[in-house]
Amino acid sequence: MEYGFLSVIPPIVAIILALKTKQVYIALLFGIWFSWLIVEGWNPLAGTLAMIEGMVNVFQSKGNTRTIMFSALVGALLIFIQYSRGVEGFINIINRKLVKLEEKKSGYSRVVVQVLATFTGLLLFVETSISSLTVGTLYRPIFDKLGIPREKLAYIADSSSAPSSILIPFNAWGAFIMGLLLTQGIEQPFSVMIASIKYNFYPLLAIVIVFIVVLTKKDFGPMKKAEKRTKETGALMNPNSKPMVSDAVTSFPPKEGIEAKAYNMIVPLLVMVFMMPVNLIYTGWGAVENASSLLNHASQAIGKGSGSSSVLYAVITALLVAMIMYFIQGIMKPKEAVTLTLKGISELMPLALLMLLAFAIGDACKVLDTGNYVANITQSWLSPELLPAIVFIVSSFIAFSTGTSWGTFAIMLAISIPMANMHGSDITIIVAATLGGGIFGDHCSPISDTSIISSMASASDHIDHVKTQLPYALIGGTVTVFMYLIIGFFG
């Protein structure tokens, strides 16, 4: 059955509700219900029951189920490294390095500290919240001591967290995106996601801009005024600012009476990252034919491997390694391990729920054939050359208005991928434009959870953080649009 214009109403309703309520869960749930209401001929009871079955059917896909399980278990791993004082040990190592900087001249110290803060944010790509929180709380004392404004710390924390998570997708972000791509019928989601990274210009530019600003010491706009204020008056914030304060790096208290050791954090995270490509090779090994060498076989296997299986096996391996390490050190007992695992899973249940709703609305839009309808009506006036830039702009608007990049990915990939197929555009470029737009809009939005966490961890006024970050984000976003136009028209 063809639904025509009705097929675009559910995602539009979801976007409008997200804008009005700022509650992406409610918006997605209502969008799913509205989709099935249309499918069931406007019968409210049948539509509601179909919605429930639609969400149950999400778990019929093994890939979706693995992705949701992975997201929940990542919460357990984060709780483990917090409880073991692994994060604290890592912070202590960095602090010892920072003390040595005090012997250097102030100008050198300021640059090196900001570079270290940026690298810390990039290295903690496993989860944006832990990245922003760690950078903010860890570097706040030394930034204050060196007279660096709180706005600059919040900017570094914010602009190094989400970009690194999307560019190094061995985390919940990667699993989520692979699940969405799988929902749209892409058979090798990991290969497409990895191939899209080189076209994901905004996150790359956001990181480059941070390093340029730090290394050249050339700020502009509100950030320049903030630097001038701190230099002249010593004030770390504006006179009427109200800092959002968070004194804790984590949401779970570490165990008392044990030594803080950095390897309790580093080893489990390295194991998880290392095991992802290993598992990709393992799961894709049997699908490779006519490989010229063992190395060639392995490289082909990575592209054919199951992304959802790989990330799930990787996080389970990391959890087992962490448990063994902590048992040997006497940090935890089996009963504590179970308690902490359940606690960690519960803390990331909102993320798992968001994934469930995102997969469900993607499936519903597929039944309505929303993406193909939008592609058909735009085929006559929207050229393939313009599509990447248009997709980036629309994704940016949705993410800015809703404050969530994940919700944006869920809505936009269900539309942009069929449009790419219809217009004959490169799928990897369109995927990159969708993801990059979500990050850009999220960076500019005052209701973004990542921005709010960065302000809290840095004890910065939130609106001041948004104002000072906005010019840098706009430069990255504007350059990105031009780059997509250049790619579209000139290849």
For 281-292, write each residue's pLDDT tens digit.
898 888 887 777
pLDDT at residue 24 tops 80? no
Ranking 91-105, 194-208, 386-400 by mean pLDDT, the lowest is 91-105
**132 vs 420, residue with greater confidence:** 420
What is the predicted pLDDT for the residue at 229?
92
pLDDT at residue 392 tops 90? yes
Confidence of residue 484 (pLDDT cuts 50, 70, 90): very high
Q: What is the mean pLDDT of residues 14-18?
A: 78
Q: What is the CA radius of gyration of the chain?
A: 23
Contacts of 368 (CB under 8 A, 6+ apart): 3, 6, 7, 10, 35, 38, 39
CA distance linking residue 342 with residue 407, whole number of Å: 26
Q: What is the mean pLDDT of residues 360-378?
A: 77
pLDDT at residue 249 tops 50? no
Coil/strand/helix, residue 142 = helix
Confidence of residue 1 (pLDDT cuts 50, 70, 90): low
What is the predicted pLDDT for the residue at 383?
80
CA distance linking residue 491 with residue 486, whole number of Å: 7
CA distance linking residue 396 with residue 80, whole number of Å: 35
Q: Tell the residue number behind the tokens 């079955």, with chain if given.
A: 53
Residue 169 is which amino acid?
A: P
Confidence of residue 58 (pLDDT cuts 50, 70, 90): confident
What is the predicted pLDDT for the residue at 379?
64
Residue 22 is which amino acid?
A: K
- Residue 110 has, within 13 A of its CA and on its CB side, a CA count of 17
CA distance linking residue 136 with residue 245, whole number of Å: 10
CA distance linking residue 345 with residue 117, whole number of Å: 29
What is the predicted pLDDT for the residue at 209?
96
Q: What is the mean pLDDT of residues 306-333?
A: 90
Q: What is the mean pLDDT of residues 392-410?
A: 82
pLDDT at residue 20 tops 50? yes
Q: What is the mean pLDDT of residues 220-242?
A: 89
pLDDT (tens digit per residue) in 455-464: 877 888 888 8
Global pTM value = 0.76
Q: What is the mean pLDDT of residues 57-61?
A: 88
| Residue 372 and residue 106 in contact, taking contact as beta carbons nearer than 8 Å | no
Count of other CB atoms within 10 angstroms of residue 194: 17
Q: What is the mean pLDDT of residues 58-77?
A: 83
CA distance linking residue 9 with residue 405, whole number of Å: 21
Confidence of residue 470 (pLDDT cuts 50, 70, 90): very high
CA distance linking residue 88 with residue 455, whole number of Å: 21
What is the predicted pLDDT for the residue at 98?
65
pLDDT at residue 99 tops 70? no
What is the predicted pLDDT for the residue at 478?
96
Percent of the chain with pLDDT over 70: 92
pLDDT at residue 269 tops 90? no
What is the predicted pLDDT for the residue at 254?
82
Coil/strand/helix, residue 243 = strand
Contacts of 122 (CB under 8 A, 6+ apart): 160, 164, 207
243 pairs with which residues across the strands? 461
Report CA-CA distances (Å) from 120 to 135, 143, 200.
Answer: 7, 14, 21
Residue 154 is which amino acid?
A: A
pLDDT (tens digit per residue) in 185-205: 887 888 899 899 999 999 999
Q: What is the mean pLDDT of residues 311-332?
A: 92
Q: What is the largest CA-CA distance in the chain?
A: 74
Q: Tell the residue number behind the tokens 């519960």, with chain if given.
A: 346
Confidence of residue 102 (pLDDT cuts 50, 70, 90): low
What is the predicted pLDDT for the residue at 101?
60
- Range 478-487 burial, b when 16+ CB lie within 10 A, else e: eebbebbbeb
What is the predicted pLDDT for the residue at 154?
92
What is the predicted pLDDT for the residue at 19?
65
Mean pLDDT of the chain: 84
| Residue 437 and residue 415 in contact, taking contact as beta carbons nearer than 8 Å | no
pLDDT at residue 105 tops 60? no
